[in-house]
Amino acid sequence: MIPDRDRLPDEGSLQAELRGLPRPHPPWGFRDRLRRQFVRDEFPERARRPRPRRPAWGDVALAGGLAAALLALGLFANRGPSWKLVATSGSGTARVDGRDVPLGERALLERRLRRGARVRLPAGAQLDLELPGIALLQMAGGEARLPGCPGRWFARSMSASLVSGELRIATGPGFAGARLTVATPEARAIVTGTTLSVLRDREASCVCVFEGRVLMTGAGGPDTVRAGFRRSVYRGGTPPLLEPILPMESMKLGMLRDAARQTLTREP
């Protein structure tokens, strides 16, 4: 029951007013004409034509499915290339996404090294990887998560992480407009096209820039590291240190840069 206090004071009179209104009268001749049509079952085309109605659930589902298929197609077409294993060195067993893969089994290793794969290498082992036309990546020892690949037209950011060991990266022409973030526990290096390495040991994370510039964030605030310098961010409050890049690292990065120029710029 609706309680009386919920009733509008004029509800009764409103209902009386409504009930006092006359029934609408049909236009002259309409009733007789419709009666004839009804009795003879001879309705004009207009009455037979279905009125446009709210789309049925089936139509909505179909439209949704079509939109999802188009979206999936767009996402698929936007996908860039996958990582290609160029070379391995060292011996032992790598661990990729929790599964052991002997470094000697190159085909199996290449299958497992997908975008975003978490890789742990034994000391002294090295993987040389290529995203055709986009970047070369060198991982030496330690543990890292591989970056994905920038989309062809959108979603051109990618990220990697380094827990320990060394990652060297050289970008190619296909990297233009993309962005790579390499995160370590202490710092992040944000790359928009350059040759650099990110090194990490127990004490610190270090970003060595061979070409271009890299924005580095972490302890001590954001800072831009220019070519020829390295910036080390330490654990436990020691201020960051900016120094010239070490000759050995400079040599390794120089070789990677040369390799990138040869492989990433060649015609497919």
Partner 1 sequence: MRPHPTNLTGTRSPGPVGELDGPAVGNGPAARRWPAFDRADLDRARAGDPEALGRFFDHYFDRVFSVACRFTGSVEHGRDLTQEIFFKIRRHLGRLDLERDPAPWLYTVTVHACLDARRSSWWRMGRRSVPLDRAGGAPALASRGPGPEENLLAAEDERRVQRAIGLLPGDLRVSVILHDFEELGHERIGAILGISHAAARKRHSRALHALARLLREGEGP
Which residues lie near partner 1 (CB under 8 A)? 1-2, 6-8, 10-11, 14-15, 17-19, 21-28, 30-31, 34-35, 37-41, 43-44, 46-48, 51-54
Query: What does the alpha-carbon distance between residue 88 and residue 246 come to, in Å, rounded to a whole number?
Result: 25
Rounded Cα–Cα distance for residues 53 and 47 (Å): 15
Q: Where in 132-203 does DSSP place strands (E)?
A: 135-145, 157-171, 179-183, 187-191, 195-200
Nearer to partner 1, 42 or 267 (CB): 42
Q: What is the nearest approach in angstroms of partner 1 to the Cβ of residue 21?
A: 5
Q: How far is the CB of 36 from partner 1 (least distance, A)?
A: 9
CB 178 within 8 Å of CB 155: no
Contacts of 78 (CB under 8 A, 6+ apart): 151, 152, 153, 154, 155
Query: Which tokens in the block code for residue 11?
Result: 């509800």
Q: Is 221 left (phi over 0), alpha (psi -120 to 50) or beta?
A: left
Quick one: which of 200, 201, 159, 203 has its CA closest to 182? 159
Minimum distance, C-beta of residue 65 to partner 1, in the bound complex (Å):
21
User: Could you count the other beta carbons within 10 Å of the beta carbon of residue 232?
Assistant: 20
Which CB sits closer to partner 1, 7 or 152?
7
Residue 56 or 248 having the CB closest to partner 1: 56
CB of 174 to partner 1, least distance (A): 49
Nearer of residues 52 and 221 to partner 1, judged by Cβ? 52
Q: Which is nearer to partner 1, 26 or 74 (CB)?
A: 26
Under a CB-based contact definition with an 8 Å cutoff, are residues 155 and 164 in contact? no
CB atoms within 10 A of CB 158: 24
The nearer residue to partner 1, 14 or 77, going by C-beta atoms, is 14
Min dist. Cβ of residue 69 to partner 1 (A): 27
* Number of other CB atoms surrounding residue 181 within 10 Å: 16
Q: Which is nearer to partner 1, 48 or 202 (CB)?
A: 48
Q: Which of 214, 173, 174, 167 is nearest to 190 (CA)?
A: 214
Least distance between partner 1 and beta carbon 48 (Å): 6
Closer by beta carbon to partner 1, 53 or else 202: 53
Smallest distance, partner 1 to C-beta of residue 60, A? 14
- DSSP-assigned letter for residue 115: T
Q: Minimal distance in Å, beta carbon 54 to partner 1?
A: 5
CB 143 within 8 A of CB 163: yes
